[in-house]
Amino acid sequence: MGTQVTPFSVRQAVTQVRQALDDGANTVVLSGQTGAGKSSALRELASSPLGAFKDVVLIAPPKGEQSLDSGLVALVELAAQLDDNKLLQKVKRNDVRWKGKLEDVTHQLISRAPRTLVLFDEPLLDTSPGPLSSVFADRAADLSRTLLNIKGLRKVVATSSTLPEAHVVEVARRSAPSEILSPDNWDPVLASAAAQLLAAGGDLLTDQSPLELRLRVGLVATGTSPIKAAGPRHALHKLIGQLLEQVGAESTDLKQVLGRLALLRVPFDLEALDDMGAGELSSRCQSLLRQTFLFGPPEGLLLHESIAQEATRWQWLTSHGRIQAHRKAARYHDARYRHSNEKFKVRAAVRHELEVIHHLTHAGDATKLLERSLFFVEQYDALGKVLSQQGRHDEAVHAYKRALAHDSDDAYAHHYLGYNLDILAQSPQQVEAHFKSAIRANPSHVWYHGRHINFLVTRGRVREARSAWEAALDALLPSGSSLNEPLYRELHGALSRLLLHRGQLEFARDVLNDVPLQLRPGLPWYRALRRLHDALWVAASGDEVFPPHISPEEQWKGPHLLHRAADSARVEHWAPGRIAEASSTEVHLRMALPPPPREEPSFVWRDLSIEEYQALALDTKDREELPSAGTFVEVIKFHGETEFLRCHPVIPFEDVDLPYLFPPPDRYLRRGPPGA
């Protein structure tokens, strides 16, 4: 099939898709920028008769960072829409693993392929299984690849990615401003803002999507001049961010409501809107919310996905507020689930049930959630993840044990059961056993290897850690090296940080040396670890003469302790050093003589009586206080003058690029022996 190159409005795009299907296209791609109307076109196709097909299935996996169940929801919705109760019950059984459920649905689709049309909104195509992908992303990608590869199955896919041998219909970011901004379409609160925007923008607004026009009306209503609001085109997220900033400054209550609504993933009604606090807003804020941010009829309202993502990013809700919002959403969906069940609306009931599970999961309500019969092992995994992130590690352990009771080969559950037990410093034998089980089940996952090795280092089993490190390299880097920066950050960075903390300098050096040369210049974490390693290596040799806050590149550009930069021209010679030992009678200094070009510095001892030290000390404070071992100093001599000594201030070694140490390396020591 050829590719359409002319962008179409939503209605025109629907017509073009219909024509392509009538002409026999196997796969049609709806492309276009965010906000162009791809999802609207799919919904219009789903709601209109398509006579050539017996089954028309719309799959719209939830998106966003919290949608751990994206692939699971899509699979259940697919089964529910195929109108086969036996298939749906198979998918909902919790004693069947993901692979078996996906195969059941796939076989059903293959048998129905010639008369079935799948409308797929944003399949996950860009995430493939690999060392850094999570089990949740894997499920969504697995479903997407499986459906798109079924031969003979007709598909319309809304995506920004390219698909082979697909007929492409581009949806334009275009609208009719005079129609959308007509005062008849706005309530009295916003009608004036809409009219001002139309008057200021004119033809400049014709390439704006309906979503963008509504956002610009909101900008005018919250204080932006009409000319500026109608001004140059911005990326959608910037436009949303600008409006959210103005809304946040105008009304704390409205931004709280937006934060709660951003957690809802499916269309909701006025009851849910009130539950989330909209009924308590001023009439002006209610108008802004209803006409600028929300789309759809009263029984099917929705916060546009782009707005929801941006509102979530602003983090207007506290952790407690977010949990309470999830609990309210769970109660709402539970009521809708029961109502749909009584009315035998299978698809709606299933989706509301999935939303109950989703919101209870993110509320961390383990008690209520574990009372239910979950469909997927991955739902126990998701609960464990949320509980672990909330610091409720004992409860996370219970959730992962429930997952393993249903699937003893669940690598994710094995790993994070071991991880949470490790954080709690409980049952080190079980920690190790679960880490090893995760590696056996999925040897290509970097975290599974990395956390096992770090556990061994923490327990003081360095020889075994080296063996595990070599095994990890064989599994993750079979060809010897890679340019996969995240892999090196997660494995080499985390391990060398712990090794340096524990003084295992040779092991840390070997780990850092394994990072490819071509990657090193662009890795801040590598440079920070190398600086720390080199400083510790010099300290271990006893020849440490510079404080750690002075970088190696700057060390021999001293002296560093002059009162004035202009004094550098007066320096005859200088020597950095460190007080190795000090008492009330004598001071022992380890000094370095600046190296000649292209040679190494030489190190000497200089022993002083306390009187000699005080005579050298330039600053009153250094003369009056007894010197402290470990203090860094510089001895400086100006031309024609006697030498003097100055002490560096104590500045702790800090580097924002150093990887974070977690769990606390001393967790087993603080816990004490068993029974203590």
Domains along the chain with CATH numbers: 10-170 (3.40.50.300), 177-392 (no CATH), 397-541 (1.25.40.10), 552-647 (no CATH)
Q: Does the pLDDT of residue 173 top 60, yes or no?
A: yes
pLDDT (mean) for 590-605: 86
Spatial distance between the Cα atoms of 8 and 40, rounded to a whole number of angstroms: 13
The pLDDT, as a whole number, for residue 3 is 45
Q: How far apart are CA 410 and CA 430, in angstroms?
A: 16
Residues 223-252 have pLDDT tens digits of: 999 999 988 777 888 999 999 999 888 889
- In the predicted structure, residue 83 carries a pLDDT above the cut 80: no
Q: What is the pLDDT of residue 162?
A: 82
Q: How does pLDDT run across 455-469, given as a tens digit for each residue?
A: 999 999 999 999 999
Q: What is the pLDDT of residue 172?
A: 83
Among all chains, which residue has been given the structure tokens 């190494």?
600
Any idea which of 61-65, 132-136, 154-158, 233-237 has the lowest mean pLDDT? 132-136
Residues 440-497: pLDDT tens digits? 999 999 999 999 999 999 999 999 999 999 999 999 999 888 888 999 999 999 999 9
Contact 424, 392 (CB under 8 A): no
The helix or strand, by DSSP H or E, that contains position 315, with its residue range, turns out to be none
Q: What is the DSSP letter of 594?
A: P
pLDDT value at residue 481: 82
Q: Please report the pLDDT score of residue 674 as a whole number.
A: 54
CA gap 626, 190 in Å, rounded: 74
What is the pLDDT of the chain when averaged over all its residues? 90
Q: Is the pLDDT of residue 131 over 70?
A: no
Q: What is the pLDDT of residues 602-632, one digit of tens each?
A: 999 999 999 999 999 999 888 888 889 999 9
Mean pLDDT across 51-72: 87
Rounded-to-integer distance, Cα 333 and Cα 268, Å? 9
Q: Which amino acid, residue 265?
A: R
Residue 594: the pLDDT is 84
**How much of the chain, in percent, has pLDDT values that exceed 90?**
67
* C-alpha to C-alpha distance for 556 and 573, rounded to whole angstroms: 12
Q: Say how far apart CA 262 and CA 264 lie, in whole Å.
A: 6
Query: What is the predicted pLDDT for the residue at 1?
Result: 40
548 and 535 in contact (C-beta within 8 Å)?
yes
Give the count of alpha carbons within 13 A of 472, CB side only.
28
d(CA 387, CA 420): 10
Strand order in the sheet with 602-609: 602-609, 586-593, 571-582, 632-638, 644-647
C-beta of residue 312 within 8 angstroms of C-beta of residue 326: no
Distance CA 329, CA 351 (A): 13
Least confident of 72-81, 85-94, 202-211, 430-439: 202-211
Under the banding of pLDDT at 50, 70 and 90, the label for residue 510 is very high
Q: Both tokens of residue 76?
A: 């259940």
Residue 597 pLDDT greater than 80, yes or no: no
Confirm whether pTM is higher than 0.95.
no
3-state percent breakdown (helix, strand, coil) of the chain, nearest 5: 55, 10, 35
